[in-house]
Chains A and B, each alone.
Chain A
Amino acid sequence: MLGKLLKYEIKATSRVFLPLYSVLIVFSIINCFMNFNPDYFSTSQFISLTLYILILAGMFVASIIVMIQRFYKNLLSEEGYLMFTLPVESWKHIVSKLITTLMWIVLSCIMALLSILIIASQGINFPEFFADIRMIWDTAYSYFGASLYHFIIQMIIGFIVAMVSGILLIYVSIAIGHLSNNHKKLLSIGAFIGIYTVGQIISATLFIGNFGHRFEFRITQQSPFPFTLVWQAIGVSAAFAAIYFVITNIILNKRLNLE
């Protein structure tokens, strides 16, 4: 059932993203052939570049808008009558939307990188480019040693956990807003600000109060990368994400009130 929900969620959202990505690539290709001279922009070059940046930004803004809209419109307004009468546990609804949103965010990042590469490809000398990348890698390796891989994995997991936590924060805010009869949107925004603030306060307290003691704030050439600290931060973020998920699920399960 989760797979089926995912299938439909992707179908419904790709109608927004695929055209957006296509437009982005087209504009990248256009800009690629613009032959930018950093000292002087012609008007058309300026417009073209601006449009490109707008589309790039638009892509990320679209991710957020679609994320909110899918959760609110598909689950908590009239379409909710369709979704919640399906023989599917409510947590699967949350997870399917979470995974889909995450997927589009990651794809958007990849698309952004791709488009930048396309634009820059005009002036890039590829063997030189790859040599530069090799050099960055070697420098990093010389700092981290074998734990470079640990670092990379940690960054990836950290990114994913941060995204998941952020998405779930939005979901739980929308869900809490749903509890009110008259002021749903207001309550959602309030919940978002409130929970975010509390989350920040708790994190800050934990680190300064607890973990900070065991860590010396001095990064020099010799001091090790604070892997443990970052794992602890990721852990806290994950714990918040779990709490947001549980609260959202409880509201959808026990406090659903579709008009």
Chain B
Amino acid sequence: MSPILECINLKKSFGSKHAVAGVNLKVERGRIVGLLGPNGSGKTTIIKLANSLLTPTSGEILIDGKKPGVETKKIVSYLPEKTYLNNWMRVQQIIEFFSDFYSDFNTQKAYDMLKRLNLDPKEKLKNLSKGNREKVQLILVMSREAQLYLLDEPIGGVDPATRDYILETIISNYSENATVIISTHLISDIEKILDDVIFIKDGQILLTSKVDNIRDEKGKSVDALFREVFKC
């Protein structure tokens, strides 16, 4: 099977800023991958390129061997860093919306998760607190049975208990065919669930490795290695 995500000499510039400066990458299926790097290193740009929210300046990005488009959007579930839901709907309406457009959306799962997190389906999105809105966004993304999950800073704005719940959800969602790519700088929280890590800086890949190799060969945690590599 082809890798679920592949970047071939991928470049993206905004004027004179080279957000992604020649990235070569292959991510296999059934892995939980950490995309780690400081702010502005290109993580979000790569993720947006994978969703065809941006077009490459040069080079290619392929999802399941295909260029980003309608077919790839069917199998990719994306959690942006920002709030992106409209504000006139109620929670149950946005769930219906997702269910309408995505054939892999599991409505029952979404409602189960809402209940677990004490969220009222009848609540209007605009009345939710920031934390609750982020929880709803996460629920929408994780209720899809996608082949590639792209989570941009999923645990940044939530309390520790919710953080644990999010990690638990990612683990329980795991399937051999699906890959989860988590972009974050809160490494120590998530490194126990990662298979592989990718370090990125200034739009270029510094290192890719299986997490256990780092621990075996260097005797360090990924968090410790990160601090070393990205020392200010």
Contacts and interface: CB of A to CB of B under 8 A. Distances in A.
Interface of A: 1, 4, 7-8, 12, 15, 74, 78-82, 84-89, 181, 254-258
A67 B15 CA distance: 31
B88 A84 contact: no
Nearest to B54: A257
B48 A258 contact: yes
Interface in B49-78: 51-55, 70-71, 73-74, 76, 78
Interface of B: 14-15, 48, 51-55, 70-71, 73-74, 76, 78, 80, 82-86, 88, 97, 100-102
Contacts of B52: 84, 256
A42 B74 CA distance: 64
B70 A8 contact: no
Contacts, number: 59
B73 A12 contact: no
B101 A79 contact: no
A256 B78 contact: no
Interface of A is mostly: loop
Contacts of B82: 78, 81
B102 A81 contact: no
Contacts of A257: 14, 54
Which residue of A1, A8, A254 has the most chain B CB atoms within 10 A of its CB atom? A8
Given A79-B86, A81-B53, A256-B54, A1 B101 contact: yes
B80 A81 contact: yes
B54 A87 contact: no
Given A79-B84, A81-B84, A256-B52, 19 more contacts: A4-B100, A15-B88, A74-B86, A78-B83, A79-B85, A79-B86, A80-B53, A84-B52, A84-B53, A85-B51, A85-B53, A85-B73, A85-B76, A86-B73, A86-B101, A87-B102, A88-B101, A255-B55, A256-B54
Nearest to B76: A85
A73 to B, nearest CB: 9
A84 B55 CA distance: 13
B54 to A, nearest CB: 6
Interface of B is mostly: loop
A7 B99 CA distance: 14
B88 A256 contact: no
A225 B53 CA distance: 51
A4 B101 contact: yes
B104 to A, nearest CB: 10
Given A78-B83, A79-B84, A82-B84, A8 B53 contact: no
Nearest to A78: B84
B46 to A, nearest CB: 15
B137 to A, nearest CB: 10
A256 B73 contact: no
Contacts of B73: 85-88
Contacts of A81: 53, 78, 80, 82, 84
Contacts of B86: 12, 74, 79, 82
B97 A8 contact: yes
A82 B88 CA distance: 14
Going nearest first, the 9 A-B pairs with the smallest beta carbon separation are: A81-B84, A87-B73, A87-B74, A81-B80, A78-B84, A86-B101, A87-B70, A82-B84, A4-B100
Contacts of A87: 70-71, 73-74, 101-102
A255 B83 CA distance: 22
Contacts of A85: 51, 53, 73, 76, 78
A175 to B, nearest CB: 15
Contacts of B100: 4, 7
A85 B83 CA distance: 14
B53 A256 contact: yes
Nearest to A254: B55
Nearest to B70: A87
A256 B12 CA distance: 13
Nearest to B101: A86
Nearest to A5: B101
Nearest to B86: A79
A88 B70 contact: yes
A80 B54 CA distance: 12
Contacts of B70: 87-89
